[in-house]
Structure 1
């Protein structure tokens, strides 16, 4: 029996952060050994919200693939491809739209939430409205059995399952109804300002930035807001500095900073210096590999091309069956 097939994708909207590392990249490394893994760059999805300025999509695509490779995603184990290199995704999105009521798309929580919360982008376009439908096409076109989902993505996957049931009920059992796989919960990484680490908040530490850039960001980090003076006891449990240090530092060193902070025997400046040192040491192997990979001209594009070629036979087989079932295939007599 073949391994179950798992699919996950990232939008190329910028460099990957420390939050991505602990939130999902380590899970992706594990899943490529456990499943038949498909990892794709969702460049068309990036257009749905960033359509007014698409100038960085190609660069971010290349950088993200290099980040994946440097993090240990192996193109010999996982199929890595770009969404736009599979134009049938758009075709299948169209076919799925024929069986999907508008009300199903309107009820997706993230659609209304993002329309209300994101004020610096025009999200009134049809592409953004169809985002969940294209996700359904992404999943079904490779016959994914499993999709890693967090709490915010669960409604999207349930929508896909409903669409698949309706499509199959109309045209025959052609599409696989995917199941959710709950990945091992990644660590929640705070940003330099204490909020969740996010590129959009401007509080992110990037995996591929220099050691100097990382150290400068750590020096500017907020700590326990109640600790005004070095002589004030602190609470490491609410301090972003401590929370990140616990992920990357030697446990005995972290424990000592935890102890001395609580009794005001050490200050935040010394702790920031040590945390920056430990964080850079933790990322040093990744960064060295990332720099080495970046010297290989067109490596990312070669990986993406090979991935698209690898899935081509399966795509052709599925879409041939879909077109035939919907009676939009070429006449057999031609």
Structure 2
């Protein structure tokens, strides 16, 4: 089995909601475009997760998937740099979800904060289903099936990464032990070569006797460098290093990026719920019309009334799109009534149009070639399945389900 470096693997996903907006671009997608060149990235369109709340209204899911895929590709996510796929086209997710459900205590699911929050927010829907209760476990399976050491999330989503860590920890505790673990670990140590084995043994002793974290990290790095070593031996060396059993499912960490919370047209968070958004494929005319009718400081009833930028939603957009010189012009002009609200909005309109232009040009190419989009996602699903199958081989064997 090929070895992997979990800490270099990143997983992230989105539920299919159709065309994406500037909030998604600034809050998530720009980070993803950067990460695909720095890590081994798996980006999933989580259509099964859509069913957890939309099981009664599935007509739009397929179209939402294609629309989202077009936007992903248009912003610069590349099938040559990252693995892009639809969750349900990798059925291994479902098998790992089932196997993990056998060891997941029910109270763990009931205590997930978003479980109660979503029930209250979506009180008009019947969410008394096993699928909705178990969605945090499905998210954990999405992560653990790739042994991803990093999960690209927003700060408020860290609770789900911590849940995945707890599941991985419980799985490793239950199934990471082997009757001859130490014997196999020592054989793995010998495969490091004489020099490597001496270094590993010394670093392990320093870490376990003195708690020297630098020694621990150096030993981990030494193991990761062993490109020809089997995944099983690597797992044993990691576990032996820390005094435990095999690390079958690495515990993932939250990877917080440089996300910016994009304000909506009314100053609140950009959202379909608030109908205050600009999509990545809005036409120039739609951008002009939407920004032109943005509310401004209520104190500026007439053109000659002075205002205060801090009370104006347009000022939040200047914080994102305008340079220092333009922001100074806005502050002085608004407070002195030297410029009108229409004047204030013009630089923002132009900046948004310039930002969207290359995205929309690429989107046209993908819209005109839907078979290319389907092909990219199908090839991504096959690559994802190859990796997922490797994990399931280890999981089945650990759980006593290997019959060959």
| Fold conserved between structures, TM > 0.5 | yes
Match 1:30 to one of 31, 34, 37: 34
Measured in 2, the distance between the counterparts of 1:8 and 1:81 equals 11
Residue 206, structure 1, aligned to residue 279, structure 2 = yes
2-side partners of 1:188 and 1:14: how far apart? 20
Q: What's the counterpart of residue 195 of structure 1?
A: 268
Whether 1:52 and 2:56 are equivalent positions in the alignment is: yes
Offset of 1:324 from its aligned partner?
A: 2.2
TM-score (norm 1): 0.93
> What is the root-mean-square deviation in Å for CA atoms of aligned residues?
1.8
Cα separation, 1, equivalents of 2:137 and 2:385: 21
Structural mapping, 1:251-266, within 5 Å: 251-266=324-339
* Worse-superposed segment, 215-224 or 155-164: 215-224
Question: Are residues 1:148 and 2:152 paired?
Answer: yes
CA distance in 2, matches of 1:219, 1:296: 34
Contact 1:13 1:60 in 2 (8 A): yes
- Which residue of 1 is the match for residue 253 of structure 2? 179
- After TM superposition, the structure 1 stretch with the greater mean CA deviation from structure 2, 306-315 or 26-35, is 306-315
**Structure 2 segments unaligned to the other structure (5+ residues):** 177-246
**In the alignment, which of 362, 381, 403 is matched to residue 289 of structure 1?**
362
Secondary structure (helix, strand or coil) at the match of 1:147 reads strand
Contact 1:245–1:279 (CA<8 Å) still a contact in 2?
A: no
User: Bigger shift: 128-137 or 303-312?
Assistant: 303-312
| Most deviating of 74-83 and 226-235 | 226-235
Give the length in aligned residue pairs: 330
Q: Which residue of 1 aligns with 2:100?
A: 96
Q: Do the aligned residues in 2 keep the contact of 1:192 with 1:240 (CA within 8 Å)?
A: yes
After superposition, what is the alpha-carbon deviation per residue over 1:239-280, rounded to whole angstroms, capped at 9, x for unaligned?
Answer: 221212332345533432232012111111232344323321
The whole-number CA distance in structure 2 between the counterparts of 1:8 and 1:272 is 35
Q: Give 3-state SS (helix, strand or coil) of 2:37's partner.
A: helix
Scaled by the length of structure 2, what TM-score is found? 0.78
1:16 to partner: Cα distance = 0.8
Comparing 47-56 and 265-274, the one that deviates more: 265-274
In the alignment, does 2:123 pair up with 1:122? no
Distance (Å, rounded) in 2 between the aligned partners of 1:6 and 1:196: 27
- DSSP-derived class of the 1:93 partner: helix
> Deviation of residue 162 (structure 1)?
0.7
Tell me the secondary structure at the aligned position of residue 208 of structure 1: coil
Residue 323 in structure 1 maps to residue 396 in structure 2: yes
Structure 2 Cα separation of the partners of residues 216 and 120 of structure 1: 33
Are the equivalent residues in 2 in contact too, given 1:99–1:167 (CA < 8 A)?
Answer: yes
SS of 2:32's equivalent in the other structure is helix
The Cα shift of 1:182 comes to 1.8
Please state whether the residue corresponding to 2:305 is helix, strand or coil: coil
| Whole-Å separation in 2 of the counterparts to 1:289 and 1:145 | 32
Aligned to 2:65: 61
Post-superposition CA distance 1:119-158 (Å, at most 9, x none): 3433222211111000000000011010123232111111
What is the CA–CA distance in structure 2 between the aligned matches of 1:222 and 1:123, rounded to whole Å?
36
Aligned to 2:167: 163
Contact 2:90 2:384 in 1 (8 A): no
On the 8 A contact 1:49/1:128 being kept in 2, the answer is yes
Distance 2:327 2:361 in 1: 25
Select the residue among 86, 98, 109 that pairs with 1:82. 86
Q: Whole-Å Cα distance in 1 between the matches of residues 98 and 57 of structure 2?
A: 25
